[in-house]
Amino acid sequence: MDSTFIIEKSVVIVSVFAITMIFAMYSTWAERKVAAFLQDRVGPNRAGWGGLLQPLADGLKLFSKEEFFPNTPNKFLFIIGPGIAMSTALMTSAVIPWGDKLHLFGKDILLQATDIDVALLYIFGVISVGVYGIMIGGWASNNKFSLMGAVRAASQMVSYEVAMGLSMIALLMMTGTLSLKEISAQQSGMNWNVFYQPVSFLIFLICAFAETNRTPFDLAECESELIGGYHTEYSSMKMGFYLFAEYANMFISSAILSILFFGGYNYPGMEWMVENAGVNTANVIGMLALFTKICGFIFFYMWVRWTIPRFRYDQLMHLGWRILIPLAIINIMVTGVCILAFK
Amino acid sequence: MSTLLIIFYFLSAITIATAFLTIISKNPIHSAIYLVICFFSVAGHYLLFNAQFLAIVHIIVYSGAIMVLFLFTIMLMNLNKEGEPHKKWATKLAAVISFGLICFVMLAVFIKAMPVIAAYKQTGQDFQSIKVLGKVLLNEYMVPFEFASVLLLVAMIGTVLLSKKEKSVQ
Amino acid sequence: MSTTIQNISLSGRKKEVSHKEMSFLESLYLVAIVKGLWITIRHFFRKKVTIHYPEQVRQMSPVYRGQHMLKRDEQGRENCTACGLCALSCPAEAITMKAAERKADEKHLYREEKYAEIYEINMLRCIFCGLCEEACPKDAIYLTTSKVLVPSNYEREDFIFGKDKLVMPLEMAMKNAQLKNAN
């Protein structure tokens, strides 16, 4: 391990971290703007041009709020809950390839924190651990509504993980690898997986909505029944961490969706650009293409949030266990038959 | 001491400490959380062996699924500290004796076991790669692998049958 | 169909609720979701209805009716003669008054020989219909274009406005007189 390697990786890691944070921050702004526009309003427009400083103002407000503790015997767990939620939300970005590579200072720099062999499994692992933040926080709040929210979130996430994993298997049968880098590279030149696996994409999309606790599956925090769900008792920046983690999760799941199904950093005419404009230019455009796709998915999340009403809990479980899982299994079988037939 | 060794001692300390805390702590939620930490440190041990696949599957299955369901049930059961009944002396004695016996057997086994590093052949093959792992599982160990999956299927069908409502007798 | 009251559509938009079985395509809800998304995205590009308040101000209607005011004439004398027609016309019975006779040394204060010693409007009862303004024979009471109808307060008693709050300030009457002379 030489020092240049460490410096290179540190720069990549810090920038990935910063980008995730900035995206999560501005997602809150975008959410309010999109919500306003879909409802014929204009949204925040006082703090800075077009309300662009609104996230900073929100953060400042959350920091300066009073820290409020409920009467709980588990102060430590109460504090560590949002911490777990936040760190699991940020951990996933380690394996995501943000671009192909850059050729700087006479060496190739991978635009990825680490390219491990089991990247997709790693993502599933982190997602499955993410539920602890919600469960521990909800339980330690010593509040029935929080506990109900936590229990709902946990059972929802555990149920949808199954369908998510099964929908992935069909895709993996085609790609033959778990490394996100290789999956991205395979989809060069509009060879996107969404055209080959539309059913798998649909299931994954629905499950991603459920895993990030977004509307129409935000039963864990539905205001009309549970006040605020698992973060009812939280205030100040601990509350902010939960909200922030939700937006970071949204960003990460958008990134995974674009990498798995929409070609990642690939864009039409990338090879031509590599030949004619150089590796660096082509790959910077590739990064921009990936971020455009991510922004598109984030917008889609918000668009759906302000269109579709919340599900009922039994409908949610029905959809997860009795529709998506059989559909995913059928999809696996059909994929297997197709692979055998066209090989 | 190499870095690896330091990490190994650190992880082992965490594993043993949390394992004991799981048994000792009075609050069932706390013991479940200690168990989760224990599982994580075991996954860390797998990573030290360079077994990435095993480590991550361990996290997904044990920490991500089984322990979540454990926590789930414990939270809903609302166990109180006073609720636990005291066991009889005879039961406690029996438990201690059986534990001691198991310890004795395991110690005997481990003392006899010799490290096989010397006999380990270097083939140059990357055994942490999932490609190799998949080929081994589905070629050499095909039958046990399929038996395991049939076992899981049977368990699943059994669960569905158990959870099904009985038809009310009219 | 018999034409009972239940079967008549008063708004002309009556729809029968149907309980027919959904087809397979409908039960997927995908079509319905896409339709919903289409509706919301059209709203995304629609003109916004927001009025940016401090910079933009909503246009008042020409018949806007704000808080009441008891008028003075050009010489600063109160117009009201306490005839009680406003109180009579008030549908909410918000106005009450007590008449008094003008003294010789009060000629500069009141225009008529009789004036309102007490004039009170209960703002919690008033509905701002403007009938008092129409009923007044002396042009004494009128409803201004003030944006604030009634300022908020803590006590119910404070919402009974007496002459101190209702009569036009003297400076305003002077200004009106100057304006009139200038024209």
The CATH number given to whatever domain includes residue C129 is: 3.30.70.3270
Of A122, A147, A151, the CB nearest to B56: A122
Binned at pLDDT 50, 70 and 90, residue A40 comes out as: confident
With a pLDDT cut of 70, the percent of chain B lying above it is: 82
* Interface check C17 vs A, CB under 8 A: no
* Residue in chain A lying closest to C44 (CA): A38
**Contact indicator for A290, A99 with CB cutoff of 8 Å:** yes
Q: Is B68's CB within 8 Å of A77's CB?
A: no
DSSP C21: P
**Contact indicator for C68, C161 with CB cutoff of 8 Å:** yes
Residue type (1 letter), B139: N
- Per the prediction, chain B carries an average pLDDT of 82
Chain A nearest CA to C54, separation (Å): 11
Cα-based distances in Å from A54 to A27, A49, A51, A247, C169? 11, 10, 5, 15, 45
Annotated binding site of C for [4Fe-4S] cluster: 80, 83, 86, 90, 126, 129, 132, 136
Query: Picking from A237-246, A328-337, C19-28, C77-86, which range would have the lowest pLDDT averaged per residue?
Result: C19-28
Subunits in contact with chain B (3 or more CB pairs closer than 8 Å): A
Number of separate helices (H) and strands (E) present in chain B: 7, 0
For residue B126, what pLDDT is reported? 66
For residue C179, what pLDDT is reported? 82
DSSP A187: T
For residue B105, what pLDDT is reported? 92
The verdict on residue C1 lying in a domain is no
For residue B18, what pLDDT is reported? 92
Q: Residues 288-307, chain A: which have Cβ within 8 Å of C?
A: 303-304, 306-307
Q: Please compute the mean of the pLDDT values over residues C135-149 and round it to a whole number.
A: 86
| Predicted confidence (pLDDT) at residue B170 exceeds the cutoff of 60 | no
- Per the prediction, chain A carries an average pLDDT of 84
The CA distance from A9 to A109, in Å, is 9
Domain ranges of chain A: 3-342
* Domains in chain C, number: 1
The CA distance from A85 to A231, in Å, is 12
Question: What are the beta bridge partners of residue C95?
Answer: C121
| Predicted confidence (pLDDT) at residue B116 exceeds the cutoff of 90 | no
**Contact indicator for A329, A138 with CB cutoff of 8 Å:** no
Q: Is C41's CB within 8 Å of A303's CB?
A: yes
* Interface check C35 vs A, CB under 8 A: no
Look at residues A221, A222, A78 and name the one whose alpha carbon lies nearest to residue A137: A78
Q: Which domain holds residue C99?
A: 68-182
Which of A75, A76, A134, A139 is most worth mutating to test chain B (most B CB atoms within 10 A of its CB)? A139
pLDDT in tens, A172-203: 888 888 888 888 888 877 778 888 888 889 89
Task: Tell me whether 0.90 is exceeded by the ipTM.
Answer: no
Which of A117, A152, A175, A332 is most worth mutating to test chain B (most B CB atoms within 10 A of its CB)? A117
For residue B38, what pLDDT is reported? 92
How far does Cα A94 stand from its chain's mean position?
A: 13
Question: What are the beta bridge partners of residue A178?
Answer: none
Q: Is A40's CB within 8 Å of C36's CB?
A: no
The verdict on residue C131 lying in a domain is yes
Q: Is B130's CB within 8 Å of A117's CB?
A: yes
| A–C contact: 3+ Cβ pairs < 8 A | yes
Residues 6+ apart with CB under 8 A from A293: A254, A258, A262, A263
Binned at pLDDT 50, 70 and 90, residue B155 comes out as: very high
The verdict on residue C61 lying in a domain is no
Helix (H) or strand (E) run with residue B39 in it = helix B28-48
For residue C3, what pLDDT is reported? 67
**Contact indicator for A341, A175 with CB cutoff of 8 Å:** no
Binned at pLDDT 50, 70 and 90, residue B14 comes out as: very high
* Residue in chain C lying closest to A38 (CA): C44
Q: Is A303's CB within 8 Å of C49's CB?
A: no
Binned at pLDDT 50, 70 and 90, residue A314 comes out as: confident
